[in-house]
Amino acid sequence: MSMNNQGRPTRSEDIETGCAPATFTGNRALILEEKLIFESGSTDRTGIDFPAAPDAPSKLGGLERSVEIGLPGLSESETVRHYTRLSRQNYGIDLGFFPLGSCTMKHNPRLNEKMARLPGFADIHPLQPQQTVQGAYQVIDELADWLKTLTGMPAVAMSPKAGAHGELCGVLAIRSALEARGDAREVILVPESAHGTNPATAAFAGYKVEDIPATKEGRVDLDALIARLGPDVAGVMITNPNTCGLFERDMKKISDAVHEAGGFVYCDGANFNAIVGKVRPGDLGVDAMHINLHKTFSTPHGGGGPGSGPVVFSEALAPFAPLPFVEGQGGEYRLVEEENAEEHHASSFGRMVAFHGQMGMFTRALTYMLSHGADGLRQVSEDAVLNANYILRSLEDVLDAPFAPSGPCMHEALFSDKGFADGFTTLDIAKGLIDEGFHPMTMYFPLVVHGAMLIEPTETESKDAIDEFVGALRHVVAAAKSGDANLKAAPHHAPRRRLDETMAARKPVLVYKDSETAA
Amino acid sequence: MSRYFTEDHEWIDVDGNNATVGITNYAQEQLGDVVFVEVPENGKELGKGDDAAVVESVKAASDVYAPVSGTVSEGNVALADDPSLINTDPEGEGWFFKLDLSDTSQLEGLMDEAAYKEFVASL
């Protein structure tokens, strides 16, 4: 063995590699086996010494806590370390490729963060006098303008907090419009290729949900939809581009038929990233559509949120949009609320939230739009679709891609589990990808494809990153096809091996109990 | 007593006007481990094709439809405590609900065991 003059070995080839022995602590190098915070520290200790409370009479009328609260005593450094270690076990878009289909996990530009942290945006309060927050209102108004321009729709409600909340906002506007004309329709039609939140939203808003089947090409069955339309149908909820990664080419025909039958068209805009600057949903006859700022317009999500889901409206639904909203006139901005809504917004269905929405996300989304410009946003869509098609064509020789023959995909590529060895499933592919250092794709959704794998790379991944992912996935797929027993036991390298998802769902442990109480 | 099947993978055992409904072994295999079940309350009126029960597995949530019209006479309460009955004995102990049939002629459109086997083989 060659040694340097400090006695420190410089080469490691003689060291026995292979199966690593267990360590004394359970830690593996810098991957620490982290205890729950209740298991570290002690209730007898405290991180900060407070002086004893003065002996004053209680004002709680006998409702004071009479038992110990049981919080662990930890110093500041112990607390910081605990949460920092936990954060290192997380996986996020800042760490690597995150190909969750229909989630648009794109990079969150740091310029957005810089703008959102400007004190004029970050340190204001919703109840501040309106003349002191004119700049913030201008941001909301300009963002609203971009959204209306990009969608070709005349109105937008900025307050909904995320996708499903936006869906609810749209469906409540549909309900209000129908009620206003004394039309008690009961059914909302939802195609199989829609997001799972669509039927949930319709049911939550009090509608009966009916499925519309998909064609073999993965699109809405237009004939089946038209056949079902009638005086009891309040509207349809369509995801476009849909969850098979395909553009609903018959959208205009669908809208025309639904309008003809007296209903409204809700479009789930979660997949808007594929068509920004290319298609205006307003031109397709859409009456309401939510836009996920946290997907399409690069604000953080997937644990880093909060989300933000503004809803654009057609002329027909605009009068029913929720309050409040920002209105600008001659460089002055004001908030239109209940007390001043009479003039031109008296038929609003009410409020979705207490205040105007996610100010921090508005600032980030507008920053993204201004830094890209209209041509840049169009290129975003083009690159997102290009990347997804690159994935589709790089994998279709090894994975079954049921809709690949019908042409290019949009922002995401869909594969099935056809051709895997007996007993091997999509779940094994996901676990194998974890070993390879990738967050798995969306799996088992949409339901129209057996063992679905839905991959959305977004435009912010480089060709190198995608090639690396494709290489890893091809390797894992080969193992699933040959029936490699090692894959069945994956992940091998994660801090925890394969978890019992069934037991976790059937007998979840939701509240910490120390071992004595639990036993 | 005779057993019928639907294209939505429910089975229905019929004895006069009384029927028992569950999901087939094929459905159970497709769902994977079942983790949650919601059965209808006694006295609930169901039309043919109405959502009658909910079954949730680690992979997906699905509705169980009423294969024919009728009034619910009993839901299988044992499933709430032990949803795994649907995986271990889908066409026996894992039944979902019992119905008093309102129109036995609706049974005519359903499949018998041989026809259902053929249907599953075609999927």
Segment A388-433, tens digit of pLDDT: 999 999 999 999 999 999 899 999 999 999 999 999 999 999 999 9
Kindly tell me if the per-residue pLDDT of A4 is higher than 60.
no
- Would you list which residues of chain B are within 8 Å, Cβ to Cβ, of chain A? 33, 35-36, 58-60, 83-84
> Per the CB < 8 Å rule, is B58 touching A447?
no
- With contacts defined as CB-CB under 8 Å, which chain B residues touch A506? 33, 35, 83-84
C-alpha angle A187/A190/A384, rounded to 5°?
A: 150
Kindly tell me if the per-residue pLDDT of A304 is higher than 70.
no
> Per the CB < 8 Å rule, is A506 touching B60?
no
- CB-CB: which of A447, A501, A505 is closest to B60? A447
Closest chain A residue to B84, measured at CA: A506
Residues A210 and B51: their CA atoms lie apart, in Å, by 10
Residue with the two structure tokens 């009090």: A206
B82, with CB counted inside 10 A (0-12, 13-18, 19+), is middle
Confidence category of residue A5, pLDDT binned at 50, 70, 90: low
The average confidence (pLDDT) of chain A is 91
A444 touches chain B (CB under 8 A): yes
> Per the CB < 8 Å rule, is A447 touching B83?
no
> Per the CB < 8 Å rule, is B84 touching A506?
yes
Within chain B, which residues score under 50 in pLDDT?
A: none
Confidence category of residue A344, pLDDT binned at 50, 70, 90: low
> Per the CB < 8 Å rule, is B59 touching A502?
no
Cβ A168 vs Cβ A204: under 8 Å: yes
Kindly tell me if the per-residue pLDDT of A516 is higher than 70.
no
CB atoms within 10 A of CB A54: 5
A515 touches chain B (CB under 8 A): no
Least confident segment among A43-57, A221-235, A244-258, B42-56: A43-57
Query: What is the arithmetic mean of pLDDT over A149-156?
Result: 98
Q: Sketch out chain A's domains with CATH numbers.
A: 111-368 (3.40.640.10), 379-505 (3.90.1150.10)
Distance of alpha carbon B98 from the chain centroid: 9
Closest chain A residue to B33, measured at CA: A502
> Per the CB < 8 Å rule, is A505 touching B59?
no
Query: B63: which strand partners?
Result: B54
Query: What is the arithmetic mean of pLDDT over A290-308?
Result: 90
> Per the CB < 8 Å rule, is B33 touching A444?
no
- A19 or B44: whose pLDDT is higher? B44
Q: Which residue from A314, A316, A324, A313 is spatially nearest to A348, judged by alpha carbons? A: A324
Residues B83 and A506: their CA atoms lie apart, in Å, by 8
Q: Sketch out chain B's domains with CATH numbers.
A: 2-105 (2.40.50.100)
Q: Which residue from B72, B88, B91 is spatially nearest to B24, judged by alpha carbons? A: B91
- With contacts defined as CB-CB under 8 Å, which chain A residues touch B9? none
Residue A378's contacts (CB-CB under 8 Å, 6 or more residues apart) are: A276, A277, A278
Closest chain A residue to B87, measured at CA: A502
Identify from A190, A197, A426, A502 which residue to disrupt to test chain B contact, counting B C-beta atoms within 10 A and taking the largest count: A502
Kindly tell me if the per-residue pLDDT of A266 is higher than 80.
yes
- With contacts defined as CB-CB under 8 Å, which chain A residues touch B83? 506
Share of chain A above pLDDT 70, in %: 94
How far CA A297 is from CA of A358, A366, A400, A457, in Å, comes to 14, 8, 32, 15
Q: What is the pLDDT of residue A203?
A: 94
- With contacts defined as CB-CB under 8 Å, which chain A residues touch B33? 501-502, 505-506
> Per the CB < 8 Å rule, is B35 touching A502?
yes
A502 touches chain B (CB under 8 A): yes
Confidence category of residue A518, pLDDT binned at 50, 70, 90: very low
Q: Which residue from B31, B23, B21, B19 is spatially nearest to B89, judged by alpha carbons? A: B23
Kindly tell me if the per-residue pLDDT of A455 is higher than 90.
yes
A347-400 pLDDT, tens digit per residue, is: 999 999 999 899 999 999 999 999 999 999 999 999 999 999 999 999 999 999
**A with B: how many residue pairs have Cβ under 8 Å apart?**
16
Kindly tell me if the per-residue pLDDT of A519 is higher than 50.
no
Residues A197 and B35: their CA atoms lie apart, in Å, by 20
Q: What is the pLDDT of residue B78?
A: 94
Kindly tell me if the per-residue pLDDT of A11 is higher than 80.
no
Kindly tell me if the per-residue pLDDT of A303 is higher than 80.
no
Confidence category of residue A221, pLDDT binned at 50, 70, 90: very high
Q: Which residue from A107, A36, A105 is spatially nearest to A72, judged by alpha carbons? A: A36
- With contacts defined as CB-CB under 8 Å, which chain A residues touch B35? 502, 505-506
Query: A233: which strand partners?
Result: A187
A506 touches chain B (CB under 8 A): yes
Q: Which residue from A313, A266, A290 is spatially nearest to A152, judged by alpha carbons? A: A313
User: DSSP H helical segments within A215-341, as ranges?
Assistant: 222-228, 251-260
Closest chain A residue to B30, measured at CA: A450
- CB-CB: which of B59, B60, B83 is closest to A506? B83
> Per the CB < 8 Å rule, is A502 touching B58?
yes
Kindly tell me if the per-residue pLDDT of A272 is higher than 90.
yes
- With contacts defined as CB-CB under 8 Å, which chain B residues touch A502? 33, 35, 58
pTM of the predicted model as reported, rounded to 2 decimal places: 0.88
Identify from B28, B35, B82 which residue to disrupt to test chain A contact, counting A C-beta atoms within 10 A and taking the largest count: B35
> Per the CB < 8 Å rule, is A502 touching B60?
no
Q: What share of chain A is helix, strand, coil (3-state, %, to 5)?
A: 35, 10, 50
- CB-CB: which of B35, B59, B84 is closest to A444? B59
Residues B55 and B34: their CA atoms lie apart, in Å, by 7
> Per the CB < 8 Å rule, is B84 touching A447?
no
Least confident segment among A42-46, A128-132, A225-229, B61-65: A42-46
- With contacts defined as CB-CB under 8 Å, which chain A residues touch B60? 444, 447
